[in-house]
Amino acid sequence: MPSLVESPGVVSLLRHAAEERRSKRGGGGVFRMFKLLPMLTSGCKMVALLGSRPGKAMLADKAIAVTLFGYRRGKISLAIQEDPRSPPFFLIELPMHTSFLHKEIDSGLVKLALESETRTHRKKLVEEYVWAVYCNGRKSGYSIRRKDVTDEERHVMQLLRGVSMGAGVLPCLSEKDTADGELTYMRGRFERVVGSKDSESFYMINPDGSGEAELSIFMVRLK
């Protein structure tokens, strides 16, 4: 099986991303902003903090909502939505612990790559099930895309219906869940770039529109 750096699809995506953003480096600081936000206990408080009008999501234009969430001592999940009020069109539990991803975020830029080895092209890319997952060039393992949303995932999506950007702590669905620590989340607005039927990428949009994307997600299907 080709590694991340050997995969022509991923290499092409990374090269295109570098060329597109080479002249845009600078401020931004979305991760720094997330670290400064108070540790909240509900999505409603986050909406109030960021000045959203009641009952209306804050996602502008055609930006995609991307959420990373999970218990501190558990695995991290990735959800991608057209907007905060729509169901995820891509949902997967990543083969890495939440604490590991937090450390990667503390170190600076984070690039997640998901690689599908499916040889047929009858499905849309985001409909593929089995994915090899890489974080900053290192293979983390394999994951299977969720076909159905669990009660807990539905709980998180419901709490964050009015949130387009933020980070903090959410109330657990039940008392037994607290054994894995706090339920943390980070959500951002992302630009979606479709390279072809076999490649897509998502780039976090910084609040001021400048700087290199601090979190990027690349999806590629091997040909």
pLDDT tens digits, residue range 161-208?
988 888 888 888 776 556 678 899 999 999 999 999 999 999 999 876
Within a domain: 1: no
Range of 115's domain?
Answer: 74-221
Average pLDDT of 44-48?
A: 35
Contact indicator for 123, 89 with CB cutoff of 8 Å: no
Cα 146 to Cα 26, 131, 137, 177, 181: the distances in Å are: 36, 11, 24, 20, 23
Tell me how long the chain is.
Answer: 223
Residue 175 lies in a domain: yes
Cα distances (Å, whole numbers) of residue 87 to 45, 153, 156, 158, 176: 21, 10, 11, 10, 26
Structure tokens at 96: 């890495």
The angle formed by the CA atoms of residues 85, 74 and 214, to the nearest 5 degrees, is: 60
Tell me whether residue 129 is in a domain: yes
Tell me the CA distances in angstroms from 45 to 29, 51, 52, 107, 156, one per residue in order.
22, 10, 10, 28, 14
Instruction: With respect to residue 128, please indicate whether it lies within any of the assigned structural domains.
Output: yes
Residue 36 has pLDDT above 50, yes or no: no
Q: How far apart are CA 116 and CA 221, in angstroms?
A: 5
**Residue 158: inside a domain, yes or no?**
yes
Question: Above 70 in pLDDT, residue 111?
Answer: yes
48: left (phi over 0), alpha (psi -120 to 50) or beta: alpha
The average pLDDT across 86-115 equals 92
Asked whether residue 134 carries a pLDDT value surpassing 60, the answer given is: yes
- Residue 51 clears pLDDT 60, i.e. is over it: no
Q: How far apart are CA 140 and CA 97, in angstroms?
A: 10
Determine the pLDDT at residue 26.
Answer: 40
pLDDT at 103 over 80: yes
Q: Is the pLDDT of residue 71 over 80?
A: yes
The whole-number pLDDT of residue 64 equals: 94
Q: Of 32 and 114, which is predicted with more confidence?
A: 114
pLDDT, residue 31, reads 55
- Assess if residue 2 is contained within a domain: no
Into how many domains does the chain fold?
Answer: 1
Determine if the pTM surpasses 0.85. Answer: no
Please report whether residue 57 resides in a domain.
no
What is the pLDDT averaged over residues 75-104? 94
Per the domain annotation, does 50 fall within a domain? no
The values of phi and psi at residue 188, to 5°, are -140, 165
Most confident of 149-158, 172-181, 204-213: 149-158
- pLDDT tens-digit profile of 1-20? 444 444 554 444 444 444 44
| 137, 111 contact by CB (below 8 A) | yes
Q: Which one-letter amino acid corresponds to residue 191?
A: E
Q: Is 214's pLDDT higher than 50?
A: yes
Question: According to the model, what pLDDT value does residue 165 have?
Answer: 87
Mean pLDDT of 118-142: 89
Q: Give the model's pLDDT for residue 176.
A: 56
Distance CA 189, CA 166 (A): 10
User: Considering the chain, what is the average pLDDT of its residues?
Assistant: 77
- For position 178, what pLDDT does the model report? 64
Confidence of residue 222 (pLDDT cuts 50, 70, 90): confident
CA distance 8 to 195: 13
Cα 135 to Cα 143: distance, rounded to the nearest angstrom:
13
